[in-house]
Structure 1
Amino acid sequence: MKKILILSAIILSGLTACNKTEDKYDASGTFEAVETIVSAEAAGTIKQLNIEEGQELKAGQTIGYIDSVQLYLKKKQLHAQIKAVLGGKPDIAAQTAALQEQLRQAEREQHRVTNLLEADAATQKQLDDANTLIAVVKKQIAAQRSSLGITSANFEDQAAPLAVQIQQVNDRLEKCRIINAVNGTVLTKYAEVNEVTSNGKPIYKIAELNSIILRAYVTGDQISHVKVSQQVKVLVDDTKNTYKTYPGTIEWISDKAEFTPKTIQTKDERANLVYAVKIRVKNDGYLKIGMYGEVKL
């Protein structure tokens, strides 16, 4: 009789433990993060790639570069072409220098004739001729400047497309630099130094792991008890019989029900339809992508 009582107590204790375990969570799911695949933006040989899996990177950090010698040579060629084209531009100041000197001489003569006219030593016709000469020389200068300006503009128009090509090459040169886009930890490295890559080919995958998302699932009966910004407890296996507890914040609730994923357990095992929720959890380094977690609402 005593053995039966002891056995009953053990069974009751086990059932109580099971119930306590079941009561520990209201929903469950797996951890995930926003993963970004950084791809090459240029084609060529990877000359430098300073990353390893598990390494933390900062946004804007330069981690390597792709061979850019051909682009550099193309840029030099374009600069040389622009120099050759613009070398044909006329020197307006030099080519109008003679006329400018004629104008200065005509103005001096006009001044001299004006003084002589005031002293009754020159005639009005002489002054009129001096004024006419100044006007003619000025028109000649204006005409030559206009002609030379048109010629100069034509050379600049010829150089403009080359300047645009240089801007395009500069953009391609910039894309030869491999720059990390987001803060995070390198998850997977797809390329190595001295490998040939192409535009759009993945180089590595990175994710922000300082805060991680638990995608959990709640039943229709529970959905009315959850809301965005709600604080919850997230439980993660620590040892065989203990849990690590993290504070979490619900940041998204699905507006559509879905069939319960096969890998997920719900509090009500009879529930066929569940709602996904995303819970943001600050990561101390213990939480990993794909790890199982439970939620206490």
Structure 2
Amino acid sequence: MPLDRKTLSIALAAVAVLAVGAWAWQHFTGTTALPEGLIQANGRIEGDHTTVASKLPGRIAEMKVREGDSVQAGQLLARLEDTQLAARKQQADAAVATVQAQLDAARAQLAVARREVPLAEASAGALLAKARAAEAQAAKDARRFDELAARGTVETRRAEQMRLAHTAAAADLRQAEQSVSSAHLGNDKVKARENDIAALAAGLRQAQAAASEVAGLIDDLNLRAPTGGVVLNRLRENGEMVAAGTPVFDLVDLDKLYLKVYVPEKQIGQLRLGLPAQVYTDAFPGQAFPARTRYIASRAEFTPKEVQTPDERVKLTYAVKLYFDSNPEHRLSPGVPADAVIRWKDEVPWQAPRW
């Protein structure tokens, strides 16, 4: 017997109620969530920040980069005025040049002395040997003529001449001995010159150190990137005065990005360091970026307002950092929201997050 219209309406209404109930049961019991072994979470991409600050006080003369610019390690980011230090550098360089010239002259004089002293000693030695021989011969002749004069063989005047010749030869010998002593004194002069050179060399090192110090101060006026990355914030502008230690730039390394997510308290016990994860962003739909769990907070905190959880009743969560294995072509950037799936059971296949 066919159903009447009223009975059919009641039956359709019952079916609708059952369908809504099934959907509600499925939704609130979490059957749309990921299977056991996978945990989904979301957050924002962040990076390790590096602050570039001025070592010295001064006025910014030139800013080389803007926010959003990619920079390489060692790249010049900004330069402070160096007028006063440049003048000090000129004075220090002039002092180095002066001492260097004095040192070069002293070394040249020492080289000449080292060549001349041996020659002078050899010449004085030869003269001394000749003078000794002449004095010895003159003494012998004087004695012989004295004996001859005493026997009356030669005139007394001739013996006196021989004695005078001996006296002259003795004087020449003393002069030759003095020449040898003077030649030996040349060695003392060489040593004194060597001492002067050592003192000048020490003075040169001191002057060079002073010049290097000023050069280092001038180099400190150039603010360079300590690492590669992107300029997130340019905190100062041209012409501003900055004190020592004043932050000027905020950099982030695009090769060391991570997604900071918040995992509910009831799921945190399933996580451990090193677990793999896959990150998804709206900018690259369907593409998963591999990551690793490198940080798990030791204390719980209330769920941030911008973070979603499968159960909005969750109040306490733990911060977890998922570091990307790589950032191909630097497509990922800080501040971008993203979803993640963390796998804590290896046998469970990957699935995209469901919200």
Name the TM tier (shorter chain): 0.7 to 0.9
Q: TM-score, normalised by structure 1?
A: 0.74
Change (3 A) 1:179 1:5: same
Give SS of 1:257's match. Answer: coil
SS of 1:209's equivalent in the other structure is strand
Task: Report the Cα distance in structure 2 between the residues aligned to 1:172 and 1:292, rounded to whole angstroms.
Answer: 44
| DSSP-derived class of the 1:65 partner | strand
Across the two proteins, how many residue pairs are aligned to each other? 292
The answer to whether the 8 Å contact 2:47/2:334 transfers is no
Name 1:59's counterpart in structure 2: 73
CA separation in 2, counterparts of 1:158 and 1:102? 27
Matched, 1:171 2:192: no
Identity of aligned residues (%): 19
Partner of 2:296: 253
Q: Computing the radius of gyration over CA atoms, which structure comes out larger, 1 or 2?
A: 2
- 8 A contact 1:215–1:279 mirrored in 2: yes
Quote the Cα distance in structure 2 between the aligned partners of 1:102 and 1:29. 86
RMSD: 4.2
- Tell me the distance in 2 between the aligned counterparts of 1:110 and 1:172: 59
Which runs of 5 or more residues in structure 2 are unaligned?
A: 1-9, 138-168, 344-355
Q: State the partner residue of 1:234.
A: 279
| 1:96-135 equivalence runs, <5 A | 104-105=119-120, 107-108=122-123, 110-111=125-126, 123=136, 132=177, 135=180
Aligned partner letter, 1:176: L
Q: CA deviation at 1:45?
A: 2.9
Q: 1:9 aligns with which of 19, 22, 25?
A: 19
Aligned mate of 1:40, from 50, 54, 75: 54
Q: Partner letter of residue 275 of structure 2?
A: Q
**Counterpart position of 2:45:** 31
**Which TM-score applies when normalising by structure 2?**
0.64
Distance 1:16 1:244 in 2: 28
Structure 2 CA distance, aligned partners of 1:200 and 1:206? Answer: 16
1:185-232 deviations in Å (ceiling 9; x for gaps): 111111223333332122211112345212233355534432322212
The unaligned stretches of length 5 or more in structure 1 are none
Matched ranges for 1:198-213 at <5 A: 198-213=243-258
C-alpha displacement of 1:276: 3.3
Write the distance in 1 (CA, Å) between the matches of 2:111 and 2:308: 91
Q: Which moved more, 1:84-93 or 1:3-12?
A: 84-93
Deviations 1:245-283 (A, max 9, x none): 4332112334x2323344355556676654432211344
Task: Say whether 1:293 aligns with 2:303.
Answer: no
Q: Could you say which residue in structure 2 is the equivalent of 1:68? A: 82
Distance in 1 between the 2:197 and 2:295 partners? 63
Structure-1 separation of matches of 2:254 and 2:90: 44
Deviates more, 1:175-184 or 1:287-296: 287-296
| Structure 1: distance between partners of 2:253 and 2:315 | 33
